[in-house]
Amino acid sequence: MPHSFPLAASPAAFLLSVLTLAFAACAEIPTGTAGRPETAPQPESNPATGRPFFGGAFLGDEVSTPERIGGAIRDFASLTGKQPALVKTFHDLTCDFSAAGWCGRVLRAVGETGSTNYVALDVRWAGGPRSRVLDPLNSGTADAEIARVARQIASVGTVVLVEPAWEMNGNWDYAWQGAVNGSNTDAPRKYRDAWRRIVDIFRREGASNVRWVFNPNVGNPVTRTATGSSHWNWYANYYPGDAYVDYVGAHGFNAPRLWGGPWQSPAEMLDGASGDHMLSDLAKRYPQKPIIIGEISSDESGDGAKGRWIRDAFRTLRAHPNVVGAVWFHMDKEADWRVNSSASALDAYREAMRDGGIRTAFRELRAPSSSLAMANR
C-alpha cells in the first residue's frame, strides 16, 4: 500500500495446495522483556504444518523513533497479549544506520526488546531522483550510499530482514515501481538488476546478517484483474532469483470503502482471482522459500466484520504449509488498520495471539537445499 515519507527522516476457507515441503527449525533466541509470558498449554508449532509462526507488526510512523519504539513494542505486547517477533520500520538510503545515527538507534532499540528488525528500505537517496529511480540505481549513482548503509546495518550484529523497494508491481508512483519506470517488459528487468546490485554490494561490504524479503502487492494493480504471466507487470517478472532472495511474500489490505470492489476474505485477497492467486503461485513457484506476509490488515465494516476477518486471516495463514509469518499494519492511515480499531477486532486479535505456535522471538527456518543461513544462535 502507499507509504511515503521525506528522505532522511522518520518513515513512515480457500483450497490450499498439497505441498510436501517441511521446514526444520533451529534454536530460538530468547524472548525480550517486553512481551507478556505465554500461557499454558503452548504447543511449539501448528500441528498442521509442524513449524512455528512469527507474528509481526508495523506500529506506525509516530512511534517508530529511537525514543519511542521500545515503549511502543511493550505497549503492543500489553494490548495484544504477545510481543511481535518481527517489528517493521521504514527507512531510506540517506539515513544513518550507525550506532549514533537516527535509523541505527531505531534498529538497536528494537533489538533490545528481543524483537527482530524488519526494514522496509526505500531505495531513494538525497540528491537522487524522486521518480524513475531504477536507471540511476543500475548506473551506480547510489553505490556509495548503498555501501555505507550495508556497513552500518552489518554493525547491528543481529539478523535484520530487509525488504527493498516493496510493492514493485503497484501503480501508486513509488519511484521503483515498474509502472513509473517504463511500464513495459524492460521495467521488471531493470528492477531485477537493481535488486541484485543492492544485494551484491551488501554482501561485498560484509552484511551477512541481512536476510532479503521479496514482497509484491497482491494481484496486478496495473490491470486490477487476474493476468498471470500474460502481462508484463505480473509479480514474478520482478523476482531477482533464488540466490538473491531468502523469503517471499505479499502485501494485502482489505478496504472496499477506500478502493472499491467487494469485501474480501483473507483467502480471496491473498489467493483469489483478484489477487492473481498469488499465495498459491508463490508456494508453487518458490517452494524452498518460506513466505512472510510483509503487510496485512483490513478496514472496518460494521457488525464485527473486521474481528471475523482477523480470525479468518490467522486460520488461513497458520494452515498454509509455507507461510512462516505475517506483519500487521497497525496504523490509522488511509483507514484505521489497527488491531484495536474496534473492541471486536481487538478481541479477535488477542484470541489469535493465544495460539502458542505464534512465537514472540524470530528464528530462521531452513528449507531443503535452501541458501538460508542459520542465524540468531
Say how far residue 276 (Cα) sits from the centre of its chain.
19
* pLDDT at residue 26, as a whole number: 33
Q: The C-alpha cell of 176 is what?
A: 521503483
Nearest Cα to Cα of residue 107 among 240, 10, 224:
10
Spatial distance between the Cα atoms of 193 and 195, rounded to a whole number of angstroms: 6
Report CA dihedral (74, 76, 79, 81) to the nearest 10 degrees: -80
The reply to whether 122 falls in a domain is yes
What's the pTM? 0.87
Residue 41, preceding peptide bond in cis (omega within 30° of 0): yes
Q: For a pLDDT cut of 70, what percent of the chain falls above it? A: 84
Expressed as residue numbers, the domain containing 73 is 43-366
Residue 37 DSSP class: P
CA atoms of 93 and 179, how far apart (whole Å): 22
Per-residue pLDDT at 94 exceeds 90: yes
Report the CATH number at residue 260.
Answer: 3.20.20.80
The answer to whether residue 306 sits within a structural domain is yes
Give residue 370's pLDDT. Answer: 34
Looking at the structure of the chain, the number of domains it has is 1
Q: Is 35 within a domain? A: no
pLDDT for the residue numbered 17: 36
Confidence band for 136, pLDDT divided at 50, 70 and 90? very high
Per-residue pLDDT tens digits for 37-57? 333 334 455 555 567 899 999
The residue among 187, 208, 210, 206 whose CA lies nearest residue 137 is 187
**What does the pLDDT look like over 198-240, one tens digit per residue?**
999 999 999 999 999 999 999 999 998 888 899 999 999 999 9
Q: Whats the size of the chain, residue-wise?
A: 377
Distance CA 222, CA 8 (A): 30
User: pLDDT value at position 21?
Assistant: 34
Cell of 123: 531505495
| Domain-embedded: residue 272 | yes
Q: Does residue 369 carry a pLDDT above 90?
A: no
- Assess if residue 20 is contained within a domain: no
Mention every residue, 6+ apart, whose C-beta is less than 8 A from residue 25.
45, 51, 52, 363, 365, 366
Q: Is the pLDDT of residue 196 over 50?
A: yes
